[in-house]
Amino acid sequence: MPLLAVIMLVLTGCAQDPYLSALDPKGPVAAAQLSLIMLSLYIMIGVFAVVMIIYVYVLVKFRKRKGQTGIPEQVEGNHKLEIIWTVIPLILLAVLAVPTVSLTFDLAEKHNSEEALQVKVVAHQFWWEFEYPDLEISAGQDLYIPTGQKVQFQVTSKDVMHAFWVPALGGKIDTNPGMINNMWLHADKPGTYKGKCAELCGPSHALMDFKVVALEPAEFDKWVGNMKASATKPAPATASAQAGQDIFNQSCIGCHAVDATKGLMVPDIAPNLAGFADRTVLAGFVEHNDENLAQWIKNPQSLKPGNLMPGFEGKLNDQQISDLVEYMNTLTIE
């Protein structure tokens, strides 16, 4: 009973955030995976109930009675029973195996560009890179996908093992360095679903979050156009944002692109900042405001331990940081 209570608590904990819950599927892959979970859960509950009923029955029926002396009759071996308790689990395993194997093969199927939008996922310590080879754009941190269409992911890693997981849509799959794994997902409705790294990968593993933004196809096409337009963005209007751009071009551009059409086919060193001003979180999880952005530029380690961005505290003065922040706020694609 205490164990069941703990399981219930844990499961309700998951369901509190509907966009981070495998129990509240938002697409056919997650729905099929949930039905497998439920099938095995029902089988387990059935087995548990039958075993418990037999257990209690035996306890009561063969208990020591008043006036009983000596040991009860001893029996050894029973062919009929042994066959029954071998065959029943075999049947249950078969009931589990058939849908599991068929779904596994279905999910492992690779869809080409005609059937599905292709997205290459590169996991980094501790952020995500998303490339759209057919659309010729690349995005950092936020994954945009169209609704009502399959999205075929090719996932890999730049450094250590991570795992790509979007509970409400399905998954997960390991991202391994030097190797490409395949998975597809499908979102039914527009919405923002949360994603996580699901493989312990270093000190900020738990902060390696990302967002999946599912848009209606027309909205998605608009987003693609806006991302492409980041290549020809006019210079910022205000003097301090211009000063910030100069600092950026000196200190930051070596790692960060601000143009979504750059850096295709090679893993980026740092997140592409095209559309950065539109992101509601910074570095995947910190609330995006000027104060936190300044803090991030000065000392990123204070927010996300072990991440690979150097701090600029002492190298840039407060004026320069505030110019940089002003410039970063112009990196919108909307």
- The residues of the shown chain that bind Cu ion, judged by CB under 5 A, are 162, 197, 201, 208
Distance CA 304, CA 14 (A): 24
76: left (phi over 0), alpha (psi -120 to 50) or beta: beta
Bridge partners of 183? 153
Choose among ligand HEC, Cu ion, none what residue 194 binds, the Cβ cut-off being 5 to 8 Å by kind: none
Backbone CA torsion sign across 223, 225, 226, 230: positive
Distance CA 130, CA 127 (A): 10
Rule CB under 6 A: which residues touch ligand HEC? 126-127, 140-141, 248, 251-252, 254-256, 269-271, 276, 279, 282-284, 296-297, 304, 307-310, 312, 324
Which is nearer to Cu ion, 208 or 243 (by Cβ)?
A: 208
Which is nearer to Cu ion, 98 or 200 (by Cβ)?
A: 200
Minimum Å gap between C-beta 201 and Cu ion is 3
Backbone CA torsion sign across 285, 290, 295, 296: positive
In the block, which residue shows the tokens 């790294």?
Answer: 197
264: left (phi over 0), alpha (psi -120 to 50) or beta: beta
Which is nearer to ligand HEC, 139 or 183 (by Cβ)?
A: 139
Give the SS3 label for residue 159.
Answer: coil
Q: What are the angstrom distances between the C-alpha of 164 and each of 27, 132, 154? A: 16, 17, 11
Minimum Å gap between C-beta 323 and ligand HEC is 10
Minimum Å gap between C-beta 163 and Cu ion is 7
Minimum Å gap between C-beta 157 and Cu ion is 8
Q: What are phi and psi of 155, to 5 degrees?
A: -110, 140
In the block, which residue shows the tokens 């009860």?
Answer: 72
> Of all residues in the chain, what percent are helix, strand and coil, respectively (each to 5)?
40, 20, 35
Minimum Å gap between C-beta 225 and ligand HEC is 21
Choose among Cu ion, ligand HEC, none what residue 167 binds, the Cβ cut-off being 5 to 8 Å by kind: none
Choose among ligand HEC, Cu ion, none what residue 241 binds, the Cβ cut-off being 5 to 8 Å by kind: none
Choose among Cu ion, ligand HEC, none what residue 301 binds, the Cβ cut-off being 5 to 8 Å by kind: none
Which is nearer to Cu ion, 161 or 229 (by Cβ)?
A: 161
User: Using an 8 Å Cβ cutoff, are 180 and 150 in contact?
Assistant: no
Which is nearer to ligand HEC, 220 or 312 (by Cβ)?
A: 312
Minimum Å gap between C-beta 196 and Cu ion is 9
Distance between the two ends of the chain, CA-based, in angstroms?
Answer: 53
Choose among Cu ion, ligand HEC, none what residue 70 binds, the Cβ cut-off being 5 to 8 Å by kind: none
Minimum Å gap between C-beta 128 and Cu ion is 9
Choose among ligand HEC, Cu ion, none what residue 120 binds, the Cβ cut-off being 5 to 8 Å by kind: none
Choose among Cu ion, ligand HEC, none what residue 304 binds, the Cβ cut-off being 5 to 8 Å by kind: ligand HEC
Minimum Å gap between C-beta 88 and ligand HEC is 51
Q: What are the angstrom distances between the C-alpha of 138 and each of 35, 101, 116, 285? A: 34, 34, 17, 20
Backbone CA torsion sign across 309, 314, 316, 317: positive
Which is nearer to Cu ion, 201 or 273 (by Cβ)?
A: 201
Two tokens, residue 77: 């071996």
Which is nearer to ligand HEC, 36 or 255 (by Cβ)?
A: 255
Choose among ligand HEC, Cu ion, none what residue 201 binds, the Cβ cut-off being 5 to 8 Å by kind: Cu ion
